[in-house]
Amino acid sequence: MSRTPLMAGNWKMNLDHLEANHLVQGLAMELRDHNHDYSRCEVLVIPPFTDIRTVQTIVDADELGIKYGAQDVSIHDNGAYTGEISTSMLTKLGCTYVVMGHSERREYHNESDELVGAKARKVLDAGMTPILCCGEALEVRKAGTHVEFVLSQIRAALAGWSAQDVAQIVIAYEPIWAIGTGETATAEDAQEVCGAIRSALAQDFGAETAEVTRVLYGGSAKPDNIKELMAQPDIDGALIGGASLKADSFAEMARFYA
Ligand code: PGA
């Protein structure tokens, strides 16, 4: 497969920098003990901003294969934006990925598709990889319009983008009703939407772009269901919340291929 699988641990607002240190050391040890093959699965941690420097220090000192990134970013370069973090602050710390449009930010911070798209643009321009999140609420799923809904989120965020740029992003499909609820979408449900995303990318940006763009699933992904999810043709990895907070469960998920 031309798409390298990606296991991304979204820590959300969990773990202070001391706990982050502990988790990354533990994760590195688990992966090393099992001879993790990073070419078969990229491993990414996405801690709160206040932990990033700590994670960088460990990754650099021990030359770990683990990558790290941020959960959000500002669309501004610098200036009077109290509480915001810029892309250059993140690149300076060695971040290589940034998440945008997570449903929790869309809900609690009123983030629109346009803003999410602008963040993705900013991140790509800074040389990092955007992880663009999308996903429907339970009412939408019940109404049966989840595919349309998700595609409209993606199309609005990527309006006017070139195929070359789209090929460099990661899309994460996370049905809101499955996030942190223990209720995972079935592998078939996840594949239905991830497959539809890839078809829409092919339609809008060409088959080659669709073939290389990674699409992740997120929402109660765990060691128990990761193999089945990863066996789906259009699922290239997972965005993992709860199960990424424990070194052993996250490392086990990264070894889905073993
Ligand atoms: P969860 O979170 O794995 O705890 O459901 C996933 C996410 O929100 O990224």
Predicted confidence at residue 253, as pLDDT, reads 98
- Mean pLDDT value across residues 222-240: 98
Q: Residue 182 — pLDDT band, cuts 50, 70, 90? A: confident
Is a pLDDT exceeding 90 seen at residue 74? yes
188-208 residues labelled b (16+ CB within 10 A) or e (exposed): ebbbbbbbbbbebbeebbeee
Residue having the nearest C-alpha atom to atom 7 of ligand 1:
241
Is a pLDDT exceeding 60 seen at residue 245? yes
Which one of 15, 239, 253 would you pick to mutate in the ligand 1 pocket, going by the greatest count of ligand atoms within 8 A of its CB? 239
Q: Which residues contact 1 (CB under 8 A, 6 or more apart)?
A: none
Q: Which residues contact 230 (CB under 8 A, 6 or more apart)?
A: 5, 237, 238, 256, 257
Tokens standing for residue 8: 């991304």
User: Whole-angstrom Cα distance, residue 196 to residue 235?
Assistant: 11
CA of 14 to the centre of ligand 1 (A): 12
Q: Is the CA virtual torsion 117, 149, 174, 231 positive or negative? A: negative
Share of the chain above pLDDT 70, in %: 100
Active-site residue identified among 30, 102, 104, 252: 102
Place of tokens 């699933």: 217
Is a pLDDT exceeding 70 seen at residue 191? yes
- Counting from 1 in the atom list of ligand 1, the atom nearest the Cα of 219 is 5
Q: What mean pLDDT is reported for the chain?
A: 97
Cα torsion 12, 98, 29, 215 to 10°: value is 100
Is a pLDDT exceeding 80 seen at residue 30? yes
Active-site residue identified among 42, 136, 174, 252: 174
Residue 102 annotated among the catalytic residues of the structure:
yes
Is a pLDDT exceeding 70 seen at residue 1? no
Is a pLDDT exceeding 80 seen at residue 210? yes
Does residue 221 have its Cβ closer than 6 Å to ligand 1? yes
Tokens standing for residue 173: 């499909």
User: What does the pLDDT look like over 81-122, one tens digit per residue?
Assistant: 999 999 999 999 999 999 999 999 999 999 999 999 999 999
Q: Are 84 and 74 in contact (CB under 8 A)?
A: yes
Q: Are 11 and 47 in contact (CB under 8 A)?
A: yes
Q: Which residues contact 130 (CB under 8 A, 6 or more apart)?
A: 97, 98, 99, 100, 119, 120, 123, 124, 169, 170
Answering whether pTM is above 0.95, one says: yes
Is a pLDDT exceeding 80 seen at residue 184? no
- Mean pLDDT value across residues 16-27: 98
| CA–CA distances in Å: residue 222 to residues 97, 103, 183 | 22, 19, 11
Q: Which residues contact 235 (CB under 8 A, 6 or more apart)?
A: 187, 190, 191, 194, 215, 216, 217, 229
Higher pLDDT among residues 207 and 180, named by residue: 207
Q: Are 31 and 43 in contact (CB under 8 A)?
A: yes
Q: Are 151 and 196 in contact (CB under 8 A)?
A: yes
